[in-house]
Chain A
Amino acid sequence: MDEPRFVFFGGKGGVGKTTVSSAFGLRCARSGQRTLLVSTDPAHSTGDLFDQPFTDAPQPVDGYDNLEAMEIDPATEVDAHLQQLKRELGTQMSAAVVNEVDLQLEMAHRTPGAHEAALFDRFIDVMRDADPYDRVVFDTSPTGGTLRLLSLPDLLEGWIDRLIAKREQSIELYERAAIGNRAPRRQLDGDPVIARLQDRRKRFVFARDTLQDAARFHLVMNPDSLSLRETERALETLKEYELPIGPIVINKITPSPEAHEDGRGGRYLRQRCASERARMQEARDSLPVEVGAEIESRVQDVTGDVLEEVAAELDLPVGGQPA
């Protein structure tokens, strides 16, 4: 099996990432691979799709072999992180300083990037504990957030390196200042701050290596010009971060009417189809990656049998031997 273990689906909001990633997960499971579907959508749409509530621990999807799913809620993650730190704060610090630091802590968890950071953290956890699965499919949040998320390892690694260097320099000076029998104000040996930073660093290095070597990114788009532009931009960003890009999935293609239908609906559909075909042709010609799958729009919400149909249309390589 040379298909990468981690597959990410991204795209603008509403293009059908959840549908496509669920369908892909289903295909993988059908081909006999133990598959985990990870959703980051706070609206719990994966749960709606399979008509079954999921939590942030993987659990088997009813009615499908080899398929498990989990839903990560960024807000809950941020909150859990905050509570955990507050507990640590209570055990480490004297009550007098706790209030000051508490304020700083609250602030850090309300910054715009907190949700992304929390999500990213959970992604790393999932990737680290992926041993029981042959394939992990990530249904990511809309484009901007996701791309930022995936660009984090490089950025954060550099930042943490600088932080470690600064901390080491200052401690070194403190140690040097400790002449005679004076005890240095800080000690490099066993410094918990450096230890934690290094621990973080290791996680980011792992994330970067995994994302570059064992992952693939599929963008999902709809056949309209807005979606096409967005996809072009997203592709550029992915390339910039040197992340491996897989074929594009075009979703929600309007089915064409029968030739004899010439009512208002028929004409509308025909025009609509023509413009979509043009966009799709443009996508095939201008995008730097191939279009891997084209999926027709459905009348009903995608659940159960419809998901099976979509899975049948979603012709992306799943690797492994079909069971």
Chain B
Amino acid sequence: MSLTTRIATFRRAIERWLLARFGDTWVEEWARGLYHGMISHPAYEKIELEAEDLEDAFMVACFPDAFGIPSPVSYYTAELLPYLETEFGAWERRMWDRQSLIERKGRQYHF
């Protein structure tokens, strides 16, 4: 039995024991919540915020007329609109909501 399989077996045993002992109790709920709040969410939240910023830049480049800037390509980018349903709504919401760049970028850091 190699080391890795021994570790895996041991891990499975612990998972089984934890599930049997704490499954569906408040302990599991809290443990999941803590893991989500402290580890996984901060990790992808920042990346998603950055992705949203890039998406906003994309949307502005596609539809500058929304801000009164005429664009030679908006005739062509209008073809993308049927496929940008979620993006369009979210973009508009973020544009309404945005205060300043510092505020937005600052949110991506936990001091």
Contacts and interface: CB of A to CB of B under 8 A. Distances in A.
Given A85-B78, A111-B70, A197-B80, A92 B63 contact: no
Contact of A179 (B44, B77, B83): B44
B28 interface: no
Interface in A178-213: 178-180, 182, 185, 192-193, 196-197, 200
A182 B89 CA distance: 22
A274 to B, nearest CB: 44
Given A101-B85, A177-B44, 16 more contacts: A85-B82, A89-B82, A92-B82, A97-B88, A107-B66, A108-B78, A109-B78, A111-B71, A113-B74, A166-B57, A173-B47, A173-B54, A177-B45, A177-B48, A197-B80, A200-B79
Given A156-B73, A170-B58, A196-B80, A185 B88 contact: no
Contacts of B76: 117, 156, 160, 200
User: 8 tightest CB-CB pairs across the interface, nearest first?
Assistant: A173-B51, A170-B54, A117-B75, A108-B78, A177-B47, A177-B44, A92-B82, A166-B58
Interface in B45-74: 45, 47-48, 50-52, 54-55, 57-58, 61-63, 65-66, 70-74
B92 interface: yes
A88 B82 contact: yes
B44 A105 contact: no
Contacts of A238: none
B32 to A, nearest CB: 12
Most buried by A among B45, B47, B82, B83: B82
A108 B82 contact: no
Given A104-B66, A167-B58, A118 B85 contact: no
Interface in A97-115: 97, 100-101, 104-105, 107-109, 111-114
B40 interface: yes
Nearest to B47: A177
Of the listed residues B40, B55, B65, B81, the one surrounded by the most CB atoms of chain A closer than 10 A to its CB is B81
24 contacts: A88-B82, A92-B85, A97-B89, A100-B92, A101-B81, A105-B78, A107-B66, A108-B65, A108-B78, A109-B75, A112-B70, A113-B71, A156-B73, A159-B61, A160-B76, A163-B61, A167-B55, A170-B52, A173-B48, A177-B48, A177-B51, A179-B40, A196-B80, A200-B79
B80 A101 contact: no
A152 interface: yes
Contacts of B44: 177-179, 182
Interface of B: 40, 43-45, 47-48, 50-52, 54-55, 57-58, 61-63, 65-66, 70-85, 88-89, 92
A156 B72 contact: yes
Contacts of A229: none
A176 B47 contact: yes
A85 B81 contact: yes
Contacts of A94: 85
A167 B55 CA distance: 7
A170 B51 contact: yes
A100 B84 contact: no
A28 to B, nearest CB: 32
A174 B84 contact: no
A162 interface: yes
Nearest to A84: B79
A113 B40 contact: no
A33 to B, nearest CB: 33
